[in-house]
Amino acid sequence: MTRTLHGRAALTVLVSLLLALPAHASMNKSITIGAGESSAGASTVNGKISVGAGATVTGDVSSVNGSIRIEEGATVADAETVNGGVRVADKVRSQSLSTVNGSINVASDVLVEGAVTAVNGRITIGGGSKVANNLGNVNGEIELEGSEVGGDVSTINGDVELADGAVIMGDLVVEKPGGWNGSKRTPRVVIGPGSRVEGVIRLEREVKLYISESAEVGGVEGEMTMDDAVRFSGKRP
């Protein structure tokens, strides 16, 4: 994920939500798709969206000013919001998850067939879950807990932690801040026990880098090298 994509995220999501309202749409009300129900999609401007357990949504669920909650075993296409969080329960299947201002919390055994993106918000991916493509944000922590990302993981100002044997199949990238996203704070990157970065840790700025002695990484490039990493033997540094 590049810095250009990060910067365009807010505009892209907002325009798509306003121009592509599905049949089940509301301007100022919350929407609930009940447990086990089928739906072609749902969209609201000022309201939250709830998708019940085991529901099947063949289209997108989207809000401009509201949260999205997807309950256990449900299937949706894209889940998108501008101002609000996205919360996903166990065993959900989705095409992609995105927000501009809000957190994304993914529970266990979830499959996201595309990307997971936020601009200003924390991203947490639980045990046994898989994100097939890229995952990233600008500001906010990223936590992978026994989960797998098939592409790159990227941030600019956020901390990143891999725990419980988490795997990144691509690169882990901490981008150089600039302009509106500039920050003097030093991010913290922790590669925990049994975790792997199949690609490289590419650092465009200095970070506090901790790598477990039982972790595997493809190398450290950019502003730091492997020699700059603090190695540790416990569960956390």
**Arithmetic mean of pLDDT, 51-77:** 97
End-of-domain residue from the set 92, 122, 152:
122
CA distances, 187 to each of 28, 184, 192 (Å): 38, 9, 16
Structure confidence by residue, pLDDT tens digits, 181-220: 556 789 999 999 999 999 999 999 999 999 999 999 999 9
pLDDT confidence of residue 1 = 43
Interacting residues of 167 by C-beta distance below 8 A, sequence separation 6+: 147, 148, 149, 195, 196, 197, 198
> Do both 117 and 7 map to the same domain?
yes
Structure confidence by residue, pLDDT tens digits, 104-153: 999 999 999 999 999 999 999 999 999 999 999 999 999 999 999 999 99
> Do both 10 and 95 map to the same domain?
yes
Give the residue numbers spanning the domain of 145: 141-237
Does 129 fall in a domain? no
Cα Rg of the chain (Å, integer): 18
